[in-house]
Amino acid sequence: MIAELIQQLKQSDKKALARSISIVENESEGYEQLLQSLTHSVATPVIGITGPPGSGKSSLVDALIGKLVNDGKKIAILCIDPSSPFNLGAILGDRIRMTNWQNHPNVFVRSLASRGSLGGLSPKIIEITELVKAVGFDLIIIETVGVGQSEIEITGLADVTIVTVVPEAGDEVQTMKAGLMEIADIFVVNKADRPDADLFVKNLQQMLAPSFRNHYNEIPIVKTIAIENFGIDELYKQLLHLLKHTHTKEKKYWLQAEKAWQLIQQKKMKHIDKKEFFAEVKSLMIKNEFQLYVYMKKFE
């Protein structure tokens, strides 16, 4: 079965890709063989879209899909959805919002469960991204859960990271943590028809100035109204420019090392069965014998 899937992936079979993603996500039999068969030379660019909840990430992705499809691009979208804390399945919110593209021959949309990951990504996102690259897409878009200030992991995976924010009456920009601010290659101020959008952009520029000193003007800030396709042409122009000009070999080396680092960390935890782990913690708590830091010593 795995050998057959490998051959189908080489033929850009989207059904085979969907099955392969499920095998990798669930660590089913043969998933390591499947991953080891992938070529290392595929250089499909990855776009990460992140930002606080309610900033319109899904609407922005939907608008970008339309632009890319009209430009003749073959694209894959990986939407990281919140997952149930009990069965770890994806809620599929983004997939429901993108039903217009489900049957388009040049578009592949897949929802992945975050499964409790604090970084806004799926635990298997690195491996799944490599799978998608093997099918020959022109571009991959990854939309994170939207947990806000913990989404720094996306910068270790994406060639270009878009941070989406919205203008609000309050001081949302002032409360942003530096980490989320610093990962952006492009800032999108979505829902720019709201009051004080221009003031919001000005405040955002001022926030960037201390972090980037004289370089903050190099980071584009694009105003959009995604549901009306306003500003999408400018965003697309900036995106193409960054993909062509800003990615040095040094960054590519760092990105690859970051992927390897995360996979090695996951590998070290592989022998721990989460259900057994949960049962043991529950048992100790019922007996009033659970002390977190004492318990952690057994894993050293």
Q: What is the pLDDT of residues 210-257, one digit of tens each?
A: 555 444 447 899 999 999 999 999 999 999 998 887 555 566 666 667
Q: Please give the class, per CATH, of domain 38-269.
A: alpha beta
More confident call, 263 vs 164? 164
Average pLDDT of every residue of the chain: 79
HEC string of the chain equals CHHHHHHHHHCCCHHHHHHHHHHHHCCCCCHHHHHHCCCCCCCCCEEEEECCCCCCHHHHHHHHHHHHHHCCCCEEEEEEECECCCCCCECCHHHHHCHHHCCCCCEEEEEEECCCCCCCCCCCHHHHHHHHHCCCCCEEEEECCCCCCCHHHHHHCCCEEEEEECCCCCCHHHHCCHHHHHCCCEEEECCCCCCCHHHHHHHHHHHHHHHHHHHHHHCCEEECEHHHCECHHHHHHHHHHHHHHCCCHHHHHHHHHHHHHHHHHHHHCCCCCHHHHHHHHHHHHHCCCCCHHHHHHHHC
Q: Model's pTM, two decimal places?
A: 0.78
- At 224 the pLDDT is 97
Percent of residues, the chain, with pLDDT higher than 70: 74
Q: What is the pLDDT of residue 210?
A: 59
pLDDT digits (tens, 9 = 90+) for 289-298: 888 878 878 8
Q: What is the pLDDT of residues 185-221, one digit of tens each?
A: 899 999 999 888 898 888 888 777 755 544 444 789 9
Where do the domains of the chain lie?
A: 1-37, 38-269, 272-300
